Structure 1
Amino acid sequence: MATIKDVAARAGVSVTTVSHVVNGTRHVSPEGRSRVEQAIRDLGYVPSAVARSLKRNTTRTLGMLIPNSSNPYFAEIVRSVEDRCFGAGYTLLLCNTDDEPRRQGVYLQVLAERRVDGLVVVSSGDDAALPDLLAGLNVPTVLLDREIDALPCDLVETAHLHGGVLATRHLASLGHRRIACIGGPAELAPSEQRIAGWRAGLAEAGLGDDSAALLWRGDFTSQSGYEALHAILRSPEPPTAVFVCNDLMAMGALCAAHESGLRVPDDLSIVGFDDIELARFASPPLTTVAQPKQRIAALAVDMLLERIDGRRQQPRKVMLQPELCVRASTGRRGNPRGERR
Structure 2
Amino acid sequence: MATIKDVAALAGISYTTVSHVINNTRPVNAETRRKVEAAIAQLDYVPSAVARSLKGQATATIGLLVPNSLNPYFAELARGIEDECERNGYCVILCNSDDDPAKQRKYLRVLLEKRIDGLIVASATEEGGFDDGIAPLRIPLVLVDRELDGVVADRVWVDHEQGGYLATRHLLDLGHRRIACISGPLRTRVAALRVQGYRRAMAEAAIVVPDAWLEESDFTSPGGYQAASRLLESVRPSAIFASNDLLGIGALRAAAERGLRVPQALSVIGFDDIQMSRYVYPALSTVGQSILQLGELAAQLLLQRIESPAPAAPEPRILAPQLLLRESTQAPGPHLAGAPTPSPQG
TM-score range, shorter chain: over 0.9
Change (3 A) 1:312 1:272: farther
- Counterpart in 1 of 2:287? 289
Shift, 1:15, TM fit: 2.3
Change (3 A) 1:266 1:131: same
Change (3 A) 1:27 1:199: same
| Distance in 2 of aligned mates of 1:26 and 1:127 | 50
Shift, 1:267, TM fit: 0.6
Moved over 4 A (4+): none
| Distance in 2 of aligned mates of 1:243 and 1:121 | 27
Structure 1 residue runs of 5 or longer lacking an equivalent are 337-341
> Is 2:296 aligned against 1:327?
no
Once the two structures are superposed, residues 273-309 of structure 1 have per-residue CA deviations (whole angstroms, 9 ceiling, x without a partner) of 1111111111111001122212211111111112222
Q: 1:15-54, aligned counterparts within 5 Å?
A: 15-54=15-54
Shift, 1:173, TM fit: 1.3
Shift, 1:211, TM fit: 4.9
- Counterpart in 1 of 2:261? 263
Shift, 1:124, TM fit: 4.1
- Counterpart in 2 of 1:149? 149
Q: Secondary structure of 1:185's match?
A: coil
> Is 2:228 aligned against 1:229?
yes
Shift, 1:62, TM fit: 0.8
Residue 248 of structure 1 is aligned with which of 246, 249, 267? 246
- Counterpart in 2 of 1:299? 297
- Counterpart in 2 of 1:339? none
Q: Secondary structure of 2:208's match?
A: helix
Q: Secondary structure of 2:136's match?
A: helix
> Is 2:52 aligned against 1:61?
no
| Distance in 1 of aligned mates of 2:52 and 2:180 | 57
- Counterpart in 1 of 2:71? 71
Change (3 A) 1:222 1:6: closer
Once the two structures are superposed, residues 138-166 of structure 1 have per-residue CA deviations (whole angstroms, 9 ceiling, x without a partner) of 22211111111321111100001111111
Q: 1:171-250, aligned counterparts within 5 Å?
A: 171-204=171-204, 206-235=205-234, 237-250=235-248
Change (3 A) 1:139 1:6: same
Once the two structures are superposed, residues 34-81 of structure 1 have per-residue CA deviations (whole angstroms, 9 ceiling, x without a partner) of 232223223332222221121211111111111111111111111111
For the 8 Å contact 2:102–2:128, the answer to whether it is kept is no
For the 8 Å contact 1:177–1:207, the answer to whether it is kept is no
Shift, 1:210, TM fit: 2.7
| Distance in 2 of aligned mates of 1:168 and 1:151 | 33
Q: Secondary structure of 1:208's match?
A: coil
For the 8 Å contact 1:62–1:92, the answer to whether it is kept is yes
Shift, 1:311, TM fit: 4.8
| Distance in 2 of aligned mates of 1:162 and 1:263 | 28
Structure 2 residue runs of 5 or longer lacking an equivalent are 336-346
Shift, 1:14, TM fit: 3.0
Q: Secondary structure of 1:249's match?
A: helix
| Distance in 1 of aligned mates of 2:97 and 2:45 | 35
Once the two structures are superposed, residues 160-214 of structure 1 have per-residue CA deviations (whole angstroms, 9 ceiling, x without a partner) of 111111111111111111211111101111111111111112223x243235442
Query: Which sits farther off after the overlay, 22-31 or 169-178?
Result: 22-31
Shift, 1:12, TM fit: 4.1
Q: Which amino acid aligns with 2:276?
A: L
| Distance in 2 of aligned mates of 1:298 and 1:162 | 22
Change (3 A) 1:219 1:131: same
- Counterpart in 1 of 2:8? 8
What is the percentage of aligned positions where both structures have the same residue?
A: 51
Shift, 1:250, TM fit: 0.7
| Distance in 2 of aligned mates of 1:188 and 1:271 | 21
Change (3 A) 1:5 1:70: closer
Shift, 1:312, TM fit: 5.0
| Distance in 2 of aligned mates of 1:296 and 1:45 | 37
For the 8 Å contact 2:118–2:302, the answer to whether it is kept is yes
Shift, 1:136, TM fit: 3.0
| Distance in 2 of aligned mates of 1:140 and 1:63 | 11
| Distance in 2 of aligned mates of 1:161 and 1:124 | 16
Q: Secondary structure of 2:182's match?
A: strand
